Chains A and B, each alone.
Chain A
Amino acid sequence: MTDDTGAVETEEPVEVAERPLPDIEVLKGLFESFEDVAWEDSLGQDVARVPNERWLDFATAAKEAGFEVCVDVTAVDWMRSRPDRFEVVANLLSMRHRLRLRMSTTAPRLDPTVASLVPVWPGANFAEREAYDMFGITFDGHPDLTRILMPDEWEGHPLRKDFGVGTVPVQFKESHKVS
């Protein structure tokens, strides 16, 4: 978001006020206290784009703001279409305020690491283990980051886009893809 004037202003703090903010009070307060977190409206749902190093801070603040439940933590593998390969997404729920919030951050291709949300919400435990198992993303601070769905000695991370589906050729089926 830039100013309407043609020249580039370097010291004007006006840019901060022009950052889009949600209308709901609870969310507004939360976003205002984090300047580097961008708010986005994705098809009617509130999404917070959090930089990787602020992940745990934002989560703690969200919990204090009333998001008592972490519904889910998952990841998306964007391969080369984004500068950072992985996106880690956490869905939050506030029962008190009847609100949902989605927060997402990025992790690079080599040695993807994100802070673990288990100290804030213990319920993120299994979900982060699954993200580790399926994508290979390391969660700092997770009490037990081991494979949960695949056998322990499995090599590779199945949901990465460069991990093949593993289809077995089926006789009389012309195309190799499942569909």
Chain B
Amino acid sequence: MATTAPGNLLMTTIDKAARWAKTRSMFPASFGLACCAIEMMATGTAHYDLSRFGMEVFRASPRQSDLMVVAGRVSQKMAPVLRQVYDQMPDPKWVISMGACASTGGMFNNYALVQGVDQVVPVDIYVPGCPPGPQSLMHGILTLHDKIMKGEIAS
């Protein structure tokens, strides 16, 4: 945290610079599962361009990505895979839970789905909607950027 002691002035500047760098080209790991994945793809393509935030490259490998957007319903069979992919991501990493099914299980309150992906991975931002439109997802992403810039989310 910032203090006004001269020794820490450099650290806060570097800290801010680091936070700026983290937000400016956050690579998402493609974890599109269901309908929300289509809206995520629509956010990434030309009409609602994610590339203006430096995020159009959906890295296939979790080892090269910073952000995992869990887009879609997570079934019981998929939960261990989700956890494994999350564990494979290097720090700093963030998780956006996109859509109602990922956030809380959505309209499918039954045996087959994990009721909220935050039972498996820690989530930073929840984007509601079924599916959330590209504007909602972008709002979620930009909110994440804001929070990182302000230091509210450490990672």
Establish whether residues A151 and B77, one from each chain, have CB atoms under 8 Å apart when the complex forms: yes
Interface string of B90-119 (1 = CB under 8 A from A): 000000000000000101011110010000
Report if B64 contacts A (CB, 8 A): no
The count of residues in chain B whose C-beta lies closer than 8 Å to any C-beta of chain A is 9
Are B109 and A168 within 8 A (Cβ)? yes
Q: Is the CB of A178 within 8 A of B109?
A: yes
Task: Give the total of A residues in contact with B, Cβ under 8 Å.
Answer: 12
What sequence of 0s and 1s flags, for each residue 47-85 of chain B, a beta carbon within 8 Å of any chain A beta carbon?
A: 000000000000000000000000000001100000000
**Does A45 belong to the interface (CB within 8 Å)?**
no
| Assembly CA distance A158 to B76 (angstroms) | 13
Q: Are A168 and B115 in contact (CB under 8 A)?
A: yes
A150 touches B115 (CB 8 A): no
Q: Which residue of A151, A164, A170, A178 is within 8 Å of B76 (Cβ)?
A: A151
The answer on a CB contact under 8 Å between B76 and A167 is no
Q: Please give, as numbers and ranges, the residues of chain B lying within 8 Å of A168 by CB-CB distance.
A: 105, 109, 115
CB neighbours of A163 from chain B (8 A): 111
Nearest residue (CB) in B for A165 is B110
Quick check: is A6 within 8 A (CB to CB) of the other chain? no
Contact call B112/A167, Cβ cutoff below 8 A = no
Interface string of A29-63 (1 = CB under 8 A from B): 00000000000000000000000000000000000
A101 CA / B110 CA spacing, docked (Å): 33
Chain B nearest CB, measured from A148 CB (Å) = 10
A166-B107 Cα distance, complex, nearest whole Å = 13
Distance between B130 CB and nearest chain A CB, rounded to angstroms: 15
Q: Is the CB of A166 within 8 A of B110?
A: yes
Closest chain-A Cβ to B109's Cβ sits at a distance in Å of: 5
Q: Is the CB of A164 within 8 A of B77?
A: no
> Inside 8 A of B115's CB, which chain A residues have their CB?
168
**CB <8 Å contact, B109 and A158:** no
B111 touches A165 (CB 8 A): yes
Known: A167-B110, A168-B115, A170-B109. 16 other contacts (CB 8 A): A150-B76, A150-B77, A150-B112, A151-B76, A151-B77, A154-B76, A158-B111, A164-B111, A165-B111, A166-B110, A166-B111, A166-B112, A167-B109, A168-B105, A168-B109, A178-B109
